Amino acid sequence: MRAAGHSTPGYWMKKSSRTDSSAKGKELPTRATPIGRNFFTPDDIHDIDFLRDISFPGEFPYTRGISPSMYRNGEWRIAQSVDSPDLNAASSLIREIANSDEPAAALSFSLHTELGISGLPGTRAVRTASGLPLSSVRDIDRLFSGIRRETLFTGFNVCSSAAQLVSMYMASCEQAKTDIRGIQGYVENNVFSPFSLSMKNPLGFPLATDISFSLITYSLNRLPYFSPFNPGGYHIREIGGTPEQEIAFTVASALYYIREAEKREIDPAQILSRMSFILGVGTDIPVEVAKFRAARRIWSRVLRNSFSGLDDSALRLSIFSRALRFPLVNDEMEINMVRSTMQLVAAVLGGVQSIEVRGGVHPSLRDQRVARTLLMIHRIVGNESGIADTIDPVAGSYYIESRTDEIERSVNSLLGRIEEHGGIDKAIKSGMIQSEVKKSREKLLHEMKEGRRLLVGYNILRDGRRKIDILREPVSPSFRLMDRSGVASEKCLSDIASSEPSSGAAMDALIKAFRHGHSIGEVTSAICLM
């Protein structure tokens, strides 16, 4: 009978570190997890209490998911990315999405559109490699031509110009005789995202916050199926930030908005009932799974400890995951599809509610054929992989549970530092958030340069002979073609400047201006005069 000592983790680790006979005298290369270890035992989860920390699906703290049945009663929402600079191509894709059995489109915008400065008189049309270039309501009309918008779930991945773009969409819906009360979708609308990236919001922070709440107030009162605030930290991951930083930034942003809602006499439960976190998903499957589990646990505990009177439904965190562009390689479509599959698997194992995968870095590499392939990947994972058949199949894994616990501790530490600065607004103003992300980015780039972080097609197994042309279409300045003459048109801009920034009436003024043909740049300029 084997001695007890031969069954201990220490004995096994010592044995496994010896030279493998099959390696012909060479030491086998080892790869460690992000926390520096590659072997886990029951000792790593001895501090975890099942009911307190893990519990059952649909039960506090929602580590295992927000629904008791998870995917057993239906799959996740499939959101297809739409970000082509060619509006005709984008419109064709949206039309195909609207006619599919998964009518959900996630729109992303060009930088000038995101900042709300496109379409200013006297500005030149710009070239863009990625993002929808929208200047006026005519561009929205063109984008959604022939599409029944009530049947389409439409997401707006935008922050700086969230109110402007939703207003433009509402103006277009009115002209198309669409009942806006039936509009389904979401907008990110997190005023902190551009500031955390050291980008300049033309409105400045105080006014940007007021306009953000104008959109929230308008949506809560008039758009029953539209979510007006969905904080995300995926952009931090795209520039080299860590999963812990991503969650901490998102939680801190959400806390600011909930506290600000109370000050503005808005019931936080109204926002929470519609809100989702928009989190990125990469290709390190165990880490991403642990991150999603930790995010739900952290958020439910923070809410319970910080706000009284919230029922359990308000504590359940819905998650919309966006596949990160970071691991994708420009000219390697085939391996990007493999990565997209890995990202999808990570999101499903993490128990998220909505998933957007991309398949490529540039929109010109994502035609309707690619979109259909991505849709089929969703179907294959959902129906053939078996991972959606069991509720939370990773629960109890020594590594997953210990990693979830480790992420929670790290995030709580970061949140504590943010609170010491006075909240997310003060932490960004002091440069604390930007500094943390910069350090992580530099570490990541160094690891990739040294070959300690491998990315196939980038720093290993790169085929430099392949070249794919990237579409770079000029933006058509359609605002110049619209009739905006008359006193009524000019009055629209003065009405914006004289309206109360945080009230729903400000949104009415924005919608009216777009209806009269003003560009997003002109509307943003008028907002600056509030």
Q: Supply the pLDDT for residue 142.
A: 96
Bigger pLDDT: 59 or 364? 59
Per the model's pLDDT, the better-predicted residue between 31 and 253 turns out to be 253
- Using DSSP's 3-state secondary structure scheme, residue 59 falls into coil
Could you report the per-residue pLDDT of 238-291, keeping only the tens digit for each?
A: 999 999 999 999 999 999 999 999 999 999 999 999 999 999 999 999 999 999
Domain count along the chain: 1
Query: How much is the mean pLDDT over the chain?
Result: 86
pTM of this prediction?
0.90
β-pair type (473-474, 127-128): antiparallel
Q: What is the mean pLDDT of residues 451-463?
A: 78
Question: Could you tell me if residue 529 is inside a domain?
Answer: no
Cα 112 to Cα 175: distance, rounded to the nearest angstrom: 25
CB-based contacts of 280: which residues, under 8 Å, 6+ apart? Answer: 232, 233, 234, 237, 238, 246, 321, 322, 323, 324
269 and 231 in contact (C-beta within 8 Å)? no
What's the rounded mean pLDDT across residues 391-399?
Answer: 95
pLDDT for residue 482 is more than 60: no
In a domain, 122, yes or no: yes
- For 446, the token pair is 């160094």
Contact 259, 302 (CB under 8 A): no
| DSSP-based three-state secondary structure for 171 | helix
Q: Decide if 49 is inside a domain.
A: no
Phi first, then psi, for residue 399 (nearest 5°) are -70, -50
Nearest Cα to Cα of residue 285 among 232, 334, 239, 321: 321
Structural Rg of the chain based on CA atoms: 24
Candidates 326, 154, 328, 349; CA nearest to 234 is: 326
Task: Give the confidence band of 1 by pLDDT, cuts at 50, 70, 90.
Answer: very low
Is 35 a member of any domain? no
**Domain that residue 182 falls in:** 60-453
What is the distance between the terminal CA atoms of the chain, rounded to a whole angstrom?
A: 82
3-state secondary structure 452-499: CCCCECCCECCCCCCCCCCCCEECCCHHHHCCCCCHHHHHHHHHHHHC
- In this predicted structure, the answer to whether residue 24 has a pLDDT above a threshold of 60 is no
Indicate whether 468 belongs to any domain.
Answer: no
Q: What is the CATH number of the domain that holds 76?
A: 3.20.20.240
Res 309 pLDDT > 80: yes
Residue at 519 is within a domain: no
Q: Kindly provide the residue ranges of all beta strands, DSSP E only, lying in 242-353, ordered along the sequence.
A: 276-281, 318-323
Residue 471 in domain = no
Q: What are phi and psi of 320, to 5 degrees?
A: -105, 115
**Would residue 488 count as lying in a domain?**
no
